[in-house]
Chains A and B, each alone.
Chain A
């Protein structure tokens, strides 16, 4: 699948944003006044910024409001509804921490759950697609949550949680690749089933239907950069997990170390998400004899 920058940044930034907002909302970060304002502003900026970026790949963004209408069947619509509902729900929590009035804590706990739910809806946009076997597994939602948890914990300065979440993330990420690598074969779709001609003999492409790439090929048969996958996997683990972990353990606490750790982690998350798209193979490639 085509690793479009807008989609990669949308999923990583909004994941990180909702992760941070969940920690703030649950009341795990001791913040008041201006301090609280900056934390919440960062959370909102990441979440909203990510969502705005996601509109960049739309053909007709001016109709985006319609995307709130089909929550009964569509995960993309549910994502839109969940994101906006969560951001609205969190507003009184943010205001009460900033301006110091007492908003009931259960409201914040519900807000944290809503953050997790929003991240879940994002992950299901990909996990639901049977046509992309690598994504179509239970580990995809787990991966999105793990990244949000680890990134959110670092940004929220929750050292012990961050250390555990980063270690868990390493395991989840390794599982994602292990499970993902075998998914296409598991589905059992081949050029034989795609054409229905496999029962007659070995099928191969004789001639392509058109002489230059079309939308389908650009969008779904994107093979550029796959050959560096192994290197990029190591870079992912290094930046998303190992370096932030070392920084958190070795560096003296303080906002600079935290911000550095978060930035490194975000780089790793972006690499991981790039691979998530670039390595994903769509079954339509079978018709073109290419995946």
Chain B
């Protein structure tokens, strides 16, 4: 059903830390690896070893350079996946009922058996979180690894999204934003978690933590002592060479 629930019991989502992400692309690979064999049609590749490789991914890592007014530029890596928006425009535009937002945990999913592959939901998403699979002709998007997080066949520590589980720097965190005491809620509150493109009115659940302020390089307190005057032979040489120059 493509009308949105008024509210959801839980609000599962991710906190992505732009300060710690090193852009290693491990989450991209882990996501593709897991979702290639689990939920729905596999994420196909076209011409993977040829001249123009292309494929379906649910998570992609961008890289930006930010130049502040008064400091050196910084590089920020930015993973981009579905934000599981509260006011998800991708859901309401769907003509078939294939796209839906779950009442129990707020995850936005596509029922691939009902998807006609019209692509309108991808047009409606501001964040580029949906990609139409060229082989299956159905819409693919981040499932928040719904087939891991509740999966009792997996060991306890694996019951979190593949991208979160794999991230070597711990830049991705998974949890319930409806609970103000949850790990993700507190992290987001402490570090000023941001919603992307709020002007689009989608009310994203996922939050991005901005990079921390960089230290400014201090002049050493011992600096005056470093102005060492050479003496003896070195001093004489210094004086002579200075004269020639």
B67 CB contacts on chain A under 8 angstroms: 201-202, 204
> Closest B-chain residue to A285, C-beta based?
B128
Annotate A184-203 by CB proximity to B: 1 below 8 A, 0 otherwise: 00011101011111011111
Q: Would you list which residues of chain B between 160 and 218 have a CB under 8 Å from chain A?
A: 194-201, 208, 210-211
CB atoms of A70 and B196 under 8 A apart? no
Number of contacting residues on A, CB 8 A? 59
Interface 1/0 per residue, A60-89 and B, CB below 8 Å = 110110111110111111001000000000
Chain A contacts for B131, CB-based, 8 A: 214-216
Q: Does A164 contact B (CB under 8 A)?
A: no
List chain B residues, Cβ under 8 A from A203: 64-66
Which residues in A have their C-beta under 8 angstroms from that of B118?
57-59, 67, 76
Q: Is the CB of A66 within 8 A of B63?
A: no
Interface residues of A in 174-231 (CB under 8 A from B): 187-189, 191, 193-197, 199-216, 219-220
Q: Which residue of A lies closest to B47 (CB)?
A: A212
Partner of B197, one of A77, A194, A202, A282: A194
On whether the beta carbons of A287 and B80 are closer than 8 Å, the reply is: yes
Any B CB within 8 A of the CB of A283 = yes
Give a binary string over B45-79; 1 marks a CB under 8 Å from any A CB, 0 the rest: 00000001111110011111111110101111010
Option from B3, B93, B115, B125 in Cβ contact (under 8 Å) with A76: B93
Contact status B124-A131, CB under 8 Å: yes
Encode contact with B along A271-290: 1 for CB under 8 Å, 0 otherwise.
00000000000111001000
Selected from B116, B125, B201, the residue in CB contact (under 8 A) with A63 is B116
For chain B, the bracket of interface size reads: 35 or more
When the two chains form their complex, are residues B2 and A193 in contact, meaning their CB atoms are under 8 A apart?
no
Question: Given A188-B199, A203-B66, does the pair A214, B115 have CB atoms closer than 8 Å?
Answer: no
Q: Are B117 and A193 in contact (CB under 8 A)?
A: no
| A196 contacts B208, C-beta separation under 8 Å | yes
Q: Please give, as numbers and ranges, the residues of chain B lying within 8 Å of A208 by CB-CB distance.
A: 62-63
Residues of A within 8 A of B198 (CB): 193
Q: Does B151 contact A (CB under 8 A)?
A: no
Q: Given contacts A72-B3, A74-B92, are A282 and B123 in contact (CB under 8 A)?
A: yes
User: Is there an interface contact between A209 and B61, defined as CB atoms closer than 8 Å?
Assistant: yes
> Contact at B56–A131, with CB atoms within 8 Å?
no
Docked CA distance A209–B61 (Å): 5
Taken together as a complex, chains A and B put the C-alpha atoms of A60 and B139 apart, in Å, by 10
Tell me if A209 and B65 are in contact (CB < 8 A): no
Contact (Cβ within 8 A) B3 A207: no
Interface majority SS (helix, strand, loop, mixed), chain B = loop
B122 at the interface (CB under 8 A from A): yes
Specify which of A57, A58, A80, A195 is in contact with B196 (CB 8 Å cutoff).
A195
CA distance A61 to B97 in the complex (A): 15
In this complex, the member of B54, B126, B128 whose beta carbon has the largest number of chain A beta carbons within 10 angstroms is B128
Task: Please tell me which one of the listed residues B62, B119, B134 contacts residue A57 in the complex, with CB atoms under 8 A apart.
Answer: B119
For the complex, is A128 an interface residue (Cβ under 8 Å from B)? yes
Interface residues of B in 2-27 (CB under 8 A from A): 2-4, 18
Contact present for A193 and B60 (CB under 8 Å): no
Pick the contact of B94: A74, A197, A214 (CB < 8 A). Answer: A74
Q: Note all chain A residues with C-beta closer than 8 A to B133.
A: 59
Residue of B1, B65, B68, B201 with most partner-chain A CB within 10 A: B65
The chain B residue with its CB closest to the CB of A72 is B3
Min CB–CB distance A269 → chain B (angstroms): 22
B142 within 8 A of A: no
Chain B residues with CB below 8 A from A125, complex form: 120
Q: How far is the CA of A287 from the CA of B81 in the complex (A)?
A: 12
8 A-B residue pairs with CB within 8 Å: A67-B118, A69-B97, A76-B120, A188-B199, A204-B64, A207-B63, A214-B57, A284-B128
Given contacts A61-B116, A195-B78, 11 further A-B contacts (CB under 8 A): A59-B139, A60-B137, A70-B97, A73-B3, A76-B93, A189-B197, A189-B199, A206-B64, A207-B63, A216-B122, A220-B122
Identify the 3 closest CB pairs spanning chains A and B, nearest first.
A59-B117, A59-B137, A201-B68
